[in-house]
Amino acid sequence: GAVVSQHPSWVICKSGTSVKIECRSLDFQATTMFWYRQFPKQSLMLMATSNEGSKATYEQGVEKDKFLINHASLTLSTLTVTSAHPEDSSFYICSARGGLAGSRYEQYFGPGTRLTVT
């Protein structure tokens, strides 16, 4: 149980285009989803927290107009990188929490999406 999927697993796009990444909780309802960014050999950096049906809460320094997050249902959240630039190239990981008995605190992570902007 507690499986989170991400799609696509990797994507290459040209500078100036937009890319959408999907995060799905497959076997539980995720009341809260989180989006992280990870640079090579570094820790995870939280970008934003989203609750189903609410606007996402962005961490300080994260441009909300550039990284659009939508949490339209209890099993799906999307991250859209708008007008992508090479510096947006990174590993994007989502996590989901909620719904399972006794797992109020536990976050389950997706496999990540490697974004390369050329």
Does residue 115 belong to the site contacting other proteins (CB under 8 A)?
no
Residue 86 DSSP symbol: G
Q: Residues 17, 39, 85, 106: which binds other proteins (CB under 8 A)? A: 106
The residue (of 15 and 42) whose beta carbon lies closer to other proteins is 42
Nearest by Cα to 79 from 4, 7, 3: 7
Does residue 105 belong to the site contacting other proteins (CB under 8 A)?
yes
Q: Residues 32, 50, 75, 90: which binds other proteins (CB under 8 A)? A: 32
Does residue 83 belong to the site contacting other proteins (CB under 8 A)?
no
What Rg value do the Cα atoms of the chain yield, rounded?
A: 14
How far from the centroid of its chain's Cα atoms is residue 100's Cα? 20
Residue 74 Cα distances to 57, 64, 77, 108, angstroms: 17, 21, 8, 14
Site for other proteins, rule CB under 8 A: 4, 6, 32, 34, 41-44, 46, 49, 91, 93, 95, 97, 104-112, 114
